[in-house]
Amino acid sequence: MQPESRFAASLSEEIGVEDKNATSTIQTQSQNQPITKMTTATGSKRRESKLDKVSAAVVVGMTAQFVVFVLCLVTEFVSRIIDTILLSMFVGICVGVIGFALMNGKD
């Protein structure tokens, strides 16, 4: 299968187009071989889904870490910079883990 056809098929799955419409252009390219679904697609989708959740949790955690760090610097909540860094790291890790748990809740 050509890379362009795989991209078109995966893009149409994300948009919600039916498989018949997505594979019609591919069937004209390879006329002798019928198109079958690959069994590795479900495993890679699970991996991609988990990677997306981990990436989103990291972004949420690092955003919380940045906000706490800037807030502590501006308000001088903690007098030493080391304590500010440790506090922001702790809050960022906690928020990231909680975000990941919430995103995994339905699975």
Q: The dihedral of CA 42, 47, 51, 53: what is its sign? A: positive
The residues spanned by each domain of the chain are 1-37, 39-107
- pLDDT of 10 reads 61
Predicted confidence (pLDDT) per residue in 35-71, tens digit:
665 555 667 778 788 899 999 999 999 999 999 999 9
Cβ proximity of 77 and 69 under 8 Å = no
Q: Which of 45-49, 76-80, 89-93 has the highest mean pLDDT?
A: 89-93
Give CA–CA dist 13/19, Å, rounded: 7
Predicted confidence (pLDDT) per residue in 1-42, tens digit:
555 555 556 655 666 655 554 454 555 555 566 666 555 566
Give yes or no for residue 94 having a pLDDT over 90.
yes
Cβ proximity of 57 and 102 under 8 Å = no
Provide the strand spans (E) within 13-106: none
- pLDDT of 100 reads 94
Q: Please, which residues have CB within 8 angstroms of residue 56's CB and are 6 or more apart in sequence?
A: 99, 103
